[in-house]
A and B are shown apart, each in its own frame.
Chain A
Amino acid sequence: MAAVDRPVIKPRPVYLNLFAIRMPLPAVVSILHRASGALLFAVGIPLLLCTVQRALVSPEAWAQMRVALDMPFAKIVAVVLAWAFIHHLLAGIRHLLMDAHVGVELAGARRSAALTMVLAILLTLAIAVRLW
């Protein structure tokens, strides 16, 4: 076949129904890395600045912050953000290790993905237990 006869655009199947695709564990870690990052940006940064600023005003303001953090809703927000931070940090360390060619083969990547998920959940649970 001459070069000019080749079709320019090959019809390729596009199949991106996220609810029908079975995501392997490394993909789950990856999308959660992204989601946790977005959450830390949208909620984490402004909340962090607010909290630090308020808690530095006076001992009374500090005490108020402690009381506020005792509310169930505040605890839930704190635990979710703690999970986002821990998952993002661990997934990031996994990324850096892979940059250094550690654990890039399939079995190792699956193991480190599982480790990231489990460790993030366990550490978050430990924080939740301390808060309640």
Chain B
Amino acid sequence: MAATTPQVTAAAHGHAQKGMDTALMGMMLFIASEIMFFAGLFGAYFTFRGQAQVWPPQGFEVDPFPLPAILTVILVASSFTMQYATIAIRRGDRTAMNRALAVTLLLGLIFLAGQLYDYSNLPFSIRSGVYGSLFFTMTGFHGAHVLGGAIGIFVVLSRGVSGQFSKEHHVAVEAVHWYWHFVDVVWIALFFTLYFLR
């Protein structure tokens, strides 16, 4: 009988609460698309590297020591402080989260400043042939992503300072922390590709 057909009211449907948070899933998929963007750049890099007789070309031998290595340590350390901030808010410790976020932001900005300084000391530019184009495009887009992540950290930090996060409600921190790990991992891949894998 039609009258006895089970019906679900609108209030009860949708918005399943189990599984990954909706916003977090959105961030994961966004990171997936970002990975594909960098995959395109890495694909270009390895295409040229595979074709070249000498790689890197003469005059383009970049030295990982001391500055790029120091910056790498700084960025990797910031991933740990970011992870610490996330763990702190999962425990409900807002003060520790805010402190760790501030340290992460500072480390990220130091990385960016150091990269700009490094740029100014390189003997080649984006106009100096294929290697220059590759080097500056890849590190430049990575730097832009670090800046984006730093803006994200600044937003969650200011929200954290005004007490908007709690043990239960802190999805923005989780999302930014995944994004920050992502820019860190891309840097590690870049660092080894550009400075060691020759």
Q: Do A and B bind each other?
A: no
